[in-house]
Structure 1
Amino acid sequence: MRLVLEIEQEADGRWLAEIADLPGVMAYGQTPDEAKARAQALALRVIADRLEHGEESPDLQSISFTAA
């Protein structure tokens, strides 16, 4: 499973990282790396929750994050 991570800087200086393939997975950080790490952690929580509830069963042999 490949998840594309989009990172952009907001007008107030904060960084926002978002994974469009997982609606609602977005996170702010003071640096691009902090925003990226928070979004990746949230994405893994969302995937785990979906698996626990039988909502989807993606190919999880490998999960990778790619910057857009």
Structure 2
Amino acid sequence: MKYKYRILIEKDENGIYIASCPALQGCYSQGDTVDEALQNIKDAIQLHIEARQALGEPIPIEILIEEVEVVV
């Protein structure tokens, strides 16, 4: 089955790119470049889904992706 998830990539204070998948709680990875972080989070998502399947747990599906803008 094919899954599609939104990911977030942020640069930390040490210059490392941290990638996370908000729909999959605890699914994080990192890389020295954006491309490396992107590939690593794809691998982490695949492993996360495989682990859930092995345990018989449901696979979260993102239904709505929305951006909001806040002016402070």
State the TM bucket, normalised to the shorter chain.
0.7 to 0.9
> Which of 18, 21, 27 matches 2:20?
18
- Percent pairwise identity: 27
Q: Rg: which structure is higher?
A: 2
**Aligned partner letter, 1:56:** P
Unaligned 5+ runs, structure 2: 62-66, 68-72
1:27-68 CA deviation, whole Å, 9 max, x = no partner?
Answer: 111001111111110111110111111111568xxxxxxxx9
Instruction: For 1:1-68, list aligned pairs within 5 A.
Output: 1-56=3-58
Number of residue pairs aligned between Structure 1 and Structure 2: 60
Unaligned 5+ runs, structure 1: 60-67
CA–CA distance in structure 1, aligned partners of residues 23 and 59 of structure 2: 15
**Residues 56/18 of structure 1: CA separation in 2 closer, same or farther (3 Å cut):** same
Q: Which structure shows the higher strand fraction?
A: 1
User: Where does structure 1 differ by over 3 angstroms across 4 or more consecutive aligned residues?
Assistant: none
**Residues 30/57 of structure 1: CA separation in 2 closer, same or farther (3 Å cut):** closer
TM-score where L is the length of structure 2: 0.73
CA–CA distance in structure 2, aligned partners of residues 57 and 5 of structure 1: 16
Name the Cα RMSD after superposition: 2.0
| CA contact 2:23–2:60 (8 Å) conserved in 1 | no
